[in-house]
Amino acid sequence: MATKFKRILVGVDDSADALLAFNYAIHQAKQDDAELIIVSILENDDMNVYQALSKDYVHGERDELEQHLAKYQKQAQDAGLTKVRTVIAEGEPGETIVKEVIPHVQPDLLIIGSLAKKGIAKHFGSQAAYMAKYAPIAVLVIR
């Protein structure tokens, strides 16, 4: 019998692969009647030192990310999922998801895209390998 997942964590960063991963996660959560947790990481190294020192800037970035995640949440709910929540964490994506988000959320599956967005917000690319290697749970890398 195939494993049924109870709580699925999906990482989003707007890359094409992350969007594929998100759509796959919706499908999987629906199939398993699982809770879906959508995570995005605010990367401090994308900010310059003045921005990092400015509470307003960081707050603004976080607000923007929260609004953005709310759109993902709505999309998941529109697709018929009832148990959906969002998480924002700060730091290096792979490490933050493995060391902070997973212990906090306690999912039984992590779904991520394999490639990162090009340019500044290159969130998950090499991070995917890190997460696949170090996450204490099943990891599904979508490409």
Task: Kindly give the interhelix angle for 16-32 and 55-78, rounded to the nearest 10 degrees.
Answer: 50
pLDDT number for residue 80: 97
pLDDT number for residue 116: 59
Q: Give pLDDT tens digits for 72-131.
A: 999 999 999 999 999 999 888 899 999 999 999 999 999 998 875 554 444 445 788 889
Distances (CA, A) of 135 to 9, 22, 28, 63, 111: 12, 18, 19, 28, 11
Fold observed for domain 7-142: Rossmann fold (3.40.50)
- Domain limits of the chain? 7-142
